[in-house]
Amino acid sequence: MAILEITVPDIGDFDEVTVIELMVKPGDSVKAEQSLITVESDKASMEIPSSHAGVVKELKVALGDKVKTGSLVLMLEVAGEAAVPTVAAPAAPAAAAPAPAAAAVPAVASGPVEVRVPDIGDFKDVTVIEIMVKPGDVVKVEQSLITVESDKASMEIPSSAAGVVKELKVKLGDKVNIGDLLAILEGTVAVAPVAAAPASAPVVSAAAEPAQAAVAVAVATPAHVPTATPALGLPHASPSVRKFARELGVPLAEVKGSGLKGRITDADVQSFTRSVMSGAVQTLAISAQQAAKPAAGGGGSELGLIPWPKVDFTKFGPVERKEMSRIKKISGANLLRNAIMIPAVTNHDDCDITDLEAFRVSTNKENEKSGVKVTMLAFLIKACVAALKKYPEFNSSLDGDALIYKQYFHIGFAADTPNGLMVPVIKDADKKGIFQISTEMGDLAKKARDGKLSPAEMSGASFTISSLGGIGGRYFTPIINAPEVAILGVCRSTIEPVWDGKAFQPRLMLPLSLTWDHRVIDGAAAARFNVYLGQILGDFRRVLL
């Protein structure tokens, strides 16, 4: 046996790409050429294959990491001599790497317009494996029309014009080349320069929103590899279908492909979703989670939901459609999974922070010149660390039937940014003072707003705080940031009349909302956690007891 380092092969012009999907985990057996991870730039997504067959020992990348040619992906144990040298994965299909197309300024034409296969680099006789439109469909400029596949890559071919599809000139299995006629559009159509100049590279969206590039490039599974089965974990699907499945939280390995060679199409993903919703199919992902909790609840996955309403809003008034930011899409998929899969309960409580607030204000006054402003959140982080130490199950994660108790205290805090919610992490908050925490929080919040947080700065949290205190509100039910098991929501403190046994006293009360995973934590423990947290915030000297 030998251990090999599997690295990112030559991925052409891509400088830094983001890891958006991990397709294997430690312990998995992989074949040579099996895809290990998917990476995405703003122009394309690609699957990175394994150069060897073996067993995954250790993943060296996490979701969100930036990688480039030569970055270490994972350690692979392979059969053979221990002397086998460390090798890089074979070169990626650099020819498939997209080159930027000229910005498309649509011109207007009327009458039939021919859409042809634009310049697809060195690829010859690529097979049409998916047809994404049909006669009568209205297509936009840059909308993907078909997916083609060579033995190295699959790519979606976009339309060079907008209009109504009058006739399709290709069918599944056809071999196409540069210049071949794909479709005829009719009506008044907007024509992008790419149609007039087929030499422009087709594989990059030239539309105004490059992040939504319609075209993706993938290192394809070799033709001889059989159609994916859940057991193999090798779903055969184009990057756009993978992306679609990810957005819906659909485990592709469980979807049966109806396309050529068993390829999974958008329609397959949609019909799988419908089956899950109707209870006809239970996803393995959900079963695994259910296995982790006592059998008392029975099946429980038959959500029995009716389909999502499809409404033509323009019937009711003018509308504007805007793509959601990438962060929103990613966090949305995570939030949906966490909301559905965790039996979460929220305890609301109030705690008296009158004295702490007075201390905070005086501390800030004394340290005005230091430039470091201490907000209530820094104290909350310290107080939570104390409560997590006293109630360690709140600092744990589920691992099958076991709990992983973390002996570190890395506290995530939700930060509101123009692009969406981000959760930077204060590492080792137990070892840091209020000033250091405040300084780090300020730096991390700024980086989050500027979109400059590194994946490392957003990972490893063992507990999260979501503070809306600077904004307002009373209580809310935060969603647990899996695989954590609890999250504290905090709203704005207000002066309340509090009965001291003789009279009402004006006290500054802080509303707390603690959401916890009922598989790990019981209601009584949650109530105790909140009470203890309130006691600490009421009098920090208790930390010393």
- Whichever of 471 and 545 has its CB closer to ligand CAO, that residue is 471
224 is catalytic: no
Helix (H, G, I), strand (E, B) or coil at 380: helix
What is the C-alpha separation between 343 and 390, in angstroms, rounded?
A: 23
Tell me the window of 227-235, 240-248, 410-418, 495-503 that interacts with ligand CAO (CB under 6 A): 410-418
Query: Could you tell me the two tokens for 401?
Result: 């039937």
Nearest distance in Å: CB 545, ligand CAO = 25
CB-CB neighbours of 43 under 10 Å: 23
CB < 8 Å & 24+ apart, contacts of 267-273: 268/241, 269/241, 269/244, 269/245, 273/248
Based on the shown chain and the rule CB under 6 A, indicate whether residue 104 belongs to the binding site for ligand CAO.
Answer: no
**Least gap, CB of 424 to ligand CAO (angstroms):** 8
State yes or no: residue 514 binds ligand CAO (CB under 6 A): no
Cα dihedral angle (455, 460, 464, 466), rounded to 10 degrees?
Answer: -10
Phi-psi region of 35 (alpha: psi -120 to 50; beta: other; left: phi over 0): beta
Quote the CA–CA distance of 279 and 299 in Å, as a whole number: 10
Q: Considering only 76-84, 198-206, 260-268, 408-416, which stretch makes contact with ligand CAO by CB under 6 A?
A: 408-416
Cα 369 versus chain centre, distance: 41
Query: Would you state the structure tokens that stand for residue 58, as one six-digit string?
Result: 């250790």
Q: Are 540 and 379 in contact (CB under 8 A)?
A: yes
Measured CA to CA, the distance from residue 183 to residue 117 in angstroms comes to 10
416 contributes a contact to ligand CAO by CB under 6 A: yes
Decide if 11 contacts 69 (C-beta within 8 A). yes
According to CB under 6 A, which one of 189, 219, 414, 526 is a site residue for ligand CAO?
414
The catalytically annotated residue of 224, 348, 410, 518 is: 518
Task: In angstroms, give the least distance from the CB of 341 to ligand CAO.
Answer: 18
Please, are residues 390 and 367 in contact by the beta-carbon 8 Å criterion?
Answer: no
Which of residues 96, 330, 490, 509 is near ligand CAO by CB under 6 A?
A: 490
Cβ nearer to ligand CAO, comparing 69 with 477: 477
Name the minimum Å distance from CB 483 to ligand CAO. 18
Q: Which residue is nearest to ligand CAO (CB)?
A: 469
**Is residue 421 a contact residue for ligand CAO (CB under 6 A)?**
yes
Minimum distance from residue 324 beta carbon to ligand CAO (Å): 14
CB of 539 to ligand CAO, least distance (A): 18
Q: Tokens for 411?
A: 């506290």
- The rounded distance, in Å, linking the Cα atoms of 36 and 488 is 35
Question: What is the b/e burial string over 338-367, where b = at least 16 CB atoms within 10 angstroms of the residue's CB?
Answer: beebbebebeebbbbbbebbeebeebeeee
Cβ proximity to ligand CAO: between 19 and 411 the closer is 411
Find the shortest distance in angstroms from Cβ 79 to ligand CAO.
Answer: 48
Q: Does 148 bind ligand CAO (CB under 6 A)?
A: no
Shortest distance, CB of residue 456 to ligand CAO, whole angstroms? 19
> Is the Cβ of residue 347 or residue 375 nearer to ligand CAO in the bound state?
375
375, 419, 436, 505: which one binds ligand CAO (CB under 6 A): 375
Q: Report the relative pairing of strands 163-168 and 217-219 from DSSP bridges.
A: unpaired
Q: Which of 56, 129, 385, 445 binds ligand CAO (CB under 6 A)?
A: 445
Of 170-178, 248-256, 265-273, 369-377, the segment contacting ligand CAO by CB under 6 A is: 369-377
Q: Are strands 163-168 and 138-139 parallel, antiparallel or unpaired?
A: antiparallel
Stretch of 33-41, 265-273, 278-286, 370-378 lying at the interface with ligand CAO (CB under 6 A)? 370-378
Which of 160, 466 has the CB closer to ligand CAO? 466
User: Does the protein bind ligand CAO through residue 379 (CB under 6 A)?
Assistant: no
Part of the chain binding ligand CAO (CB under 6 A), chosen from 171-179, 198-206, 208-216, 413-421? 413-421
Look at strands 411-413 and 463-467 and give their pairing: parallel
When binding is defined by CB under 6 A, the residue of 250, 264, 376, 437 that contacts ligand CAO is: 376
* Residue 501 structure tokens: 């046994």
User: 337 to 366, contacts with ligand CAO by CB under 6 A?
Assistant: none
User: Six-digit token pair at 97?
Assistant: 């790497």
3-state class of 285 per DSSP?
A: helix
CB 51 within 8 A of CB 87: yes
Name the residue nearer to ligand CAO (CB basis): 123 or 413.
Answer: 413
For residue 39, give the nearest of 85, 107, 92 by alpha carbon.
Answer: 92
Compute the residue count for the chain. Answer: 545
Q: Is 492 in the site for ligand CAO (CB under 6 A)?
A: yes
Largest CA distance in the chain: 89
Q: Which two tokens stand for residue 229?
A: 């089965």
CB 290 within 8 A of CB 316: no
Nearer to ligand CAO, 99 or 359 (CB): 359
Q: How many residues bind ligand CAO (CB under 6 A)?
A: 19
Among 336, 335, 332, residue whose Cα is nearest residue 323 = 332
Stretch that binds ligand CAO, among 236-244, 258-266, 340-348, 462-470 (CB under 6 A): 462-470
| Site for ligand CAO contains 468 (CB under 6 A) | yes
Q: Is residue 470 part of the contact set for ligand CAO (CB under 6 A)?
A: yes
Binding segment for ligand CAO (CB under 6 A), chosen from 45-53, 211-219, 392-400, 486-494, is 486-494
374 binds ligand CAO (CB under 6 A): no
* Site residues for ligand CAO per CB under 6 A: 375-377, 413-416, 421, 445, 466-470, 478, 490, 492-493, 510
Residues that are catalytic: 518
